Homo-oligomer: A and B are copies of this chain.
């Protein structure tokens, strides 16, 4: 169940930080570690979890592995969220922004 993988992956604050970093630009695993006080194996394990959830994807470049946000995972979250749109309050600013964004 990929949906379970996604929520489980995002339940960890370190992985959310990693994901947010990648959302601001793809980079390799070593660069990701900078300013994060995390061991190399720990980073590697976190990336494996995010990969399994289709939240990030890799691109090998020589001995480096470049990571980037995988839209598939975000799409699945959006689909999950859409199931409950009956409960979204109309007032939410974020959704209005989204609307504008999708309109163009």
Number of interface residues of A (CB under 8 A): 38
The docked-state distance in angstroms from the alpha carbon of A45 to that of B16 is: 25
The docked-state distance in angstroms from the alpha carbon of A22 to that of B28 is: 42
Copies of this chain, whole number: 2
Among A34-42, A59-67, A72-80, the stretch in contact with B: A72-80
Residues from chain B with a CB closer than 8 A to the CB of A2 are none
Q: Tell me if A71 and B88 are in contact (CB < 8 A).
A: yes
A92 (CB) vs chain B CBs: closest residue: B75
Residues of A within 8 A of B (CB): 1, 3-4, 7-8, 10-11, 13, 16, 20, 23, 69, 71, 74-75, 77-79, 81-90, 92, 94-99, 101-103
